[in-house]
Amino acid sequence: MTARTALPLRTLLTALAVLVALVLPLVLPEFQVTLLVNILIAGTLVTGLVLLTGVVGLTSFGHAAFMGVGAYTTALLTTQAGWSPWLSLPAALVVTALTALVLGLVTLRMQGHYLPLATIAWGISLYFVFGNTPALGGNTGLTDIPALSVLGTRLTSPRAFAYLALLCLGLSALGAQFLLSSRTGRALRALRTGPLVAEAFGASPFALRVQVFVLSAGLAGLAGWLYAHNQRFLNPTPFGLQAGIEYLFMAVVGGVGHVWGGVLGAGLITSLREWLRGTLPALLGQQGSFEIVVFGALVILTLQFARRGLWPLAERLLSPAAPARLPSPTPLPRRAVPTPGAPLLEVQAVSKHFGGLRAVQEVSFQLHAGEILGLIGPNGAGKSTLFNVITGVNPASSGRVQYAGNDITRLGAAQVHRRGLGRTFQHVKLLPELSLLDNAMMGGYARGRAGLLRSLLHLERHEEAALRAEAQAQLDRVGLGAQALTLAGSLPLGQQRILEVARALVADPTLLLLDEPAAGLRYGEKADLAALLRRLRGEGLTVLIVEHDMELVMGLVDRLVVMAGGEKLAEGTPEEVRRDPQVREAYLGADPVAPTGGAA
């Protein structure tokens, strides 16, 4: 008897959701179809906010204003210049995107709460521009915006319009999903942990922030275009700060990091708003926007009990989504392996000062291809600072760093990485909600080329296939291959650190730099790590390891550089270093092989 494979629940539910979405405009009463259209329009905007706020972590209160830019652009072009709404669609998208580009270039370098404040500032400014520009109809607004026509049929009924809005939302959400599972999407997700990871794997955090900001504004512009031709009149009210806050509520309640969570949030909040607007004034005996109070309470409750929103609660009931099907991979090109023993990294009289503090002072050493070099020293010796100078995270105050004969002193972290330096982090920086495979694929960012647009259209499938095959191969190499589809957050720390090594290996580095890889590991985990590093050295990889755990270091490295007080104290084999009187003194007279600090 042939075993029949049951369709996964996820596929069945997706098919059911599509079917329901297609049938609803036909079967609902007309006033509810109008509500459905509003949900679909809001969902289109919130899809962009999910990418910007949920995925990348940039909070915008001003996206309703971008919706206004799209809406007023199409309204002006169709009513004043007589354009067809289909021609004014690209114009509305371009004007919104350009507005976002200008605002983004000015504000997206801001950190912390300054950026949300800036979004409030320009959100309010644009709102007042809409209300105080006579050509835009001021607070009275613009009327007689033409209806859309498709093949001679005017979309004046909510039922017909619902299908157009459904198409726009469907395409937006699908594009966003494609983006999130792409090379660019992984780099966008990495931005949530700060700029360090994205940059360490060859991406430009600022360029990514600008791109996702413009894309999310574009989706708001699309929502504005739909809104204008659905309502057929405009005034500034739906594009003010209050609306901007409501869209954020939708993203937060639905599930800020999930595309379909945003759609769920748009559905819940828009329906609830309609219901409360009808119910609350009757209950309270007076008019007013009381629904905002209820939304506020709802957001507080969501943040209290379901921090990632409602969607992840539903997702928990389903098995994880299988990775998308991709064509058979073509192997990625490999770097030439440096000649064993040849100088690979040369640190020449490097100093790094923070104001008056000399964190690193005239340190020089060489690292030869095929060796493991340990960089050790007591707390505050300057090891991490030197590590950051070599990897391009912080520029040197003076001195030179040469890699494979090229000066890399002035290069940023992304460019240093592209020269063949791969790294791990002192504090593990993985994306816990993604699989091991996805995390490892992030390491291959610099080996791909597909940008935002190709990813949105899912035209990067061949490149993805190659990256995925490489990531799987590196997971196999470090012994994590069998768990490739497990979530990274569920691994114990030791395996998370090994996953970071695999992620670095996906970049095909010629030098692997490890920043305190044994910190927090148990005895057995340290032994596994040491065995892995020995094996990698045997395969021709060069390793620089900054470590506190002397037992691990002494049994692993070929040579050591010892730092203390920012200066190089000694250099040599573990035996030479162990006998060095200055080193013993730096370790307060103790044998450096004896455990130090908490890590040993």
Ligand X SMILES: Nc1ncnc2c1ncn2[C@@H]1O[C@H](COP(=O)(O)OP(=O)(O)OP(=O)(O)O)[C@@H](O)[C@H]1O
Q: Which is nearer to ligand X, 255 or 377 (CB)?
A: 377
Per CB under 6 A, does 359 bind ligand X?
Answer: yes
Question: Which residue stretch of 60-68, 211-219, 374-382, 574-582 sits at the interface with ligand X (rule: CB under 6 A)?
Answer: 374-382
Q: CA torsion sign, 146 to 150 to 152 to 157?
A: negative
Q: Do the beta carbons of residue 73 and residue 95 sit within 8 Å?
A: yes
Q: Which is nearer to ligand X, 286 or 379 (CB)?
A: 379
CB of 182 to ligand X, least distance (A): 33
CB of 209 to ligand X, least distance (A): 22
Question: Which residue stretch of 185-193, 375-383, 437-445, 535-543 sits at the interface with ligand X (rule: CB under 6 A)?
Answer: 375-383
Alpha-helix runs per DSSP H in 405-480 = 413-418, 436-442, 452-456, 461-478
Q: Which is nearer to ligand X, 385 or 439 (CB)?
A: 385
Q: Which is nearer to ligand X, 363 or 502 (CB)?
A: 363
Q: Which is nearer to ligand X, 238 or 377 (CB)?
A: 377
By three-state DSSP, how is residue 284 classified?
helix
Nearest to 22 by CA among 158, 175, 159: 159
Q: Which is nearer to ligand X, 132 or 582 (CB)?
A: 582
Report the site for ligand X in 376-435 (rule: CB under 6 A). 377, 379-385
Tokens representing residue 12 in the block: 């069945």
Q: Binders of ligand X: how many residues, by CB under 6 A?
A: 11
CB of 373 to ligand X, least distance (A): 16
Q: How many CB atoms lie within 10 A of CB 435?
A: 21
CB of 469 to ligand X, least distance (A): 37
Q: Which is nearer to ligand X, 86 or 354 (CB)?
A: 354
List phi, psi (to 5°) of 402.
-110, 140
CB of 569 to ligand X, least distance (A): 12
The C-alpha angle 66, 92, 186, rounded to 5 degrees, equals 60
Residue 487 CA neighbour count, 13 Å, CB half: 10
Among 357, 459, 482, 493, binds ligand X (CB under 6 A): 357
CB of 388 to ligand X, least distance (A): 8
Q: Tell me how far apart the alpha carbons of residues 42 and 390 are, in angstroms, rounded to a whole number.
A: 47
For ligand X, what does the binding mask look like between residues 313 and 352, x meaning CB under 6 A? ----------------------------------------
Question: 532-553: b or e for each residue (b if 16 or more CB lie within 10 Å)?
Answer: bbeebbeeebbbbbbbbbbbbb
CB of 360 to ligand X, least distance (A): 7
Tokens representing residue 330 in the block: 């073509």
Q: Which is nearer to ligand X, 377 or 448 (CB)?
A: 377
Q: Which is nearer to ligand X, 452 or 552 (CB)?
A: 552
Beta-bridge partners for 564:
567
Q: Which is nearer to ligand X, 162 or 556 (CB)?
A: 556
Q: Tell me how far apart the alpha carbons of residues 298 and 288 are, in angstroms, rounded to a whole number.
A: 18
Question: Which residue stretch of 34-42, 196-204, 205-213, 354-362 sits at the interface with ligand X (rule: CB under 6 A)?
Answer: 354-362
CB of 377 to ligand X, least distance (A): 5
CB of 382 to ligand X, least distance (A): 4
CB of 379 to ligand X, least distance (A): 4
Q: Do the beta carbons of residue 252 and residue 302 sit within 8 Å?
A: yes
Burial of 526 (0-12, 13-18, 19+ CB in 10 A): buried
Tokens representing residue 90 in the block: 């690209």
Provide the binding-site residues for ligand X, judged by CB under 6 A: 354, 357, 359, 377, 379-385
